[in-house]
Amino acid sequence: MWNIVADENMPLVKELFAEFGGTPAQIKKLSGRCITAKNLYKTDILLVRSVTQVNQELLKGSPVRFVGTATIGTDHIDLDYLSQQGIEFSSAPGSNAQGVAEYVLTSIAYWAEKRHVDLNTIKVGIIGAGNVGSRVAKVLDTLGIDYLLNDPPLEAAGDARSFVSLKEINQCDVISCHVPYIASGQYATYHLIDDAFLEAMPDQSLLINSSRGAVLDNNAAFGIKYAGKSIDYILDVWEDEPKVNIKLMDQALIATPHIAGYSQEGKIRGTYQLYQALNQWQGFENSISLDELLPQAPKWHWDGTIKGLYQSIKPYYDIEADDHRMRQVGANIEQKFDFLRKTYPQRLEFLDTL
Ligand SMILES: NC(=O)C1=CN([C@@H]2O[C@H](COP(=O)(O)OP(=O)(O)OC[C@H]3O[C@@H](n4cnc5c(N)ncnc54)[C@H](O)[C@@H]3O)[C@@H](O)[C@H]2O)C=CC1
Ligand SMILES: O=C(O)C(=O)[C@H](O)COP(=O)(O)O
């Protein structure tokens, strides 16, 4: 019998893994932040989301042979350690990219309405043109909103798209970050958006961070605005989650608790991609199809006008409600951060028709 430990916030674990490869599996669901070495002494398969640090301390001495994270980001996983130990690994690339792209589009539309900006006249700077950044670009293409891409690793690898420097991105009206968290090295993203970058942003511009909290120097962001710089922030991710810089949260035009990718479909795809990876690892067939698991969501029909964009999106995704939930807990945000995420209301993807 397989022994599986899974994060309790992962949907459909029972449905997908209870009969893994025709053999019954013993599944234990735990809070992601509370999974410790003690929980893993007879575990073969560990399925996590982004809040579980998977490293030697967690896995040493355990029989775990497969680690899966139902997320795009992998900065919580010590990939070198897994590889040294011969532990099979899979993440869920692209699984919630659509959810993040919809969060970004909604953010831009909200900002434009609030600040009386004509979206026909702006330029969006996308930092990181991987799965999410490319999806954001596709949405902007469809709406006819101009954008520039920055992605030095892809540029160096010969990606055929046209890229600009970070300096050029810095001058865009909207800047949206879609890089992974990389602590050091040639392409480090730790505090990629620092004091100097923020200082050089044009007045009345918007910074969106839905990548990882530490890509933006949160103290610098607070300081610059406190000193009078007139820029807006829409922030989904925070340095040192579940801690949140409350003063920065107060400044943000929209503040959300790391839910940009939390569409229902995104979460389902995340678990499903691990199901596929596990089956492939063991040479089993996928007996369940993704289509039978995905909800049928009503889709947004864009009438072709940029004016009033936010009001036409709002019935499908009400980002102000997400902001309100976060601000309501106020100073208790650190204690409530995980709760807000665990109890996040069902959000369905609305952009299929684009
Ligand atoms: N807030 C949320 O709910 C979510 C956040 N994320 C975050 O978004 C990140 C991006 O996701 P994906 O697009 O799927 O990842 P990806 O790996 O497909 O793309 C990331 C891109 O960033 C580029 N990059 C790396 N270092 C860079 C640098 N220094 N400057 C500019 N570009 C750089 C890479 O070349 C790559 O093309 C994830 O790693 C994760 O941290 C992902 C999903 C949900
Ligand atoms: O996929 C990623 O990368 C993310 O940031 C996830 O959306 C985060 O969700 P949790 O894993 O923290 O539930």
Q: What is the pLDDT of residues 112-128, one digit of tens each?
A: 999 999 999 999 999 99
* Residue range(s) of every CATH 3.40.50.720 domain in the chain: 2-91+264-292, 96-261+318-343
Class assignment of domain 2-91+264-292? Answer: alpha beta
pLDDT higher than 70, residue 353: no
Q: What is the pLDDT of residues 171-227, one digit of tens each?
A: 999 999 999 999 999 999 999 999 999 999 999 999 999 999 999 999 999 999 999
- Active-site hit among 102, 239, 241, 349: 241
Binding-site residues from annotation for NAD(+): 151, 236, 261
Beta-carbon contacts of 45 under 8 Å, excluding residues fewer than 6 positions away, are: 2, 3, 4, 5, 17, 25, 64, 65, 66, 68, 278
Inter-CA distances, 198 with 146, 240, 266, 293, 305, Å: 21, 20, 31, 43, 31
Architecture of the domain whose range is 96-261+318-343: 3-Layer(aba) Sandwich (3.40)
Give one DSSP letter per residue of 127-185, joined into a string.
E--SHHHHHHHHHHHHHT-EEEEE-HHHHHTT-SS----HHHHTTSSEEEE-PPP--SS
Query: Which of 258, 273, 342 for a ligand 2 pocket mutation test, highest count of atoms within 8 Å of Cβ?
Result: 258
Q: What is the pLDDT of residues 15-50, one digit of tens each?
A: 999 988 888 999 999 999 999 999 999 999 999 999
Whole-angstrom distance, CA of residue 82 vs CA of residue 85: 5
pLDDT given at position 301: 86
Distance 199 CA to ligand 2 centre (A): 30
pTM for this prediction? 0.97
Look at ligand 1, atom 28, and give the residue with the nearest C-alpha: 187
Distance 177 CA to ligand 1 centre (A): 8
Task: Assess whether 178 carries a catalytic annotation.
Answer: no
Distance 211 CA to ligand 1 centre (A): 6
Q: What is the pLDDT of residues 69-112, one digit of tens each?
A: 999 999 999 999 999 999 999 999 999 999 999 999 999 999 99
Q: What is the pLDDT of residues 313-346, one digit of tens each?
A: 999 999 999 999 999 999 999 999 999 999 999 9
- Active-site hit among 49, 135, 178, 258: 258
From the CA of 213, the nearest ligand is 1
Q: Answer for the pair 131, 344: CB distance below 8 angstroms, yes or no.
A: no
pLDDT given at position 354: 54
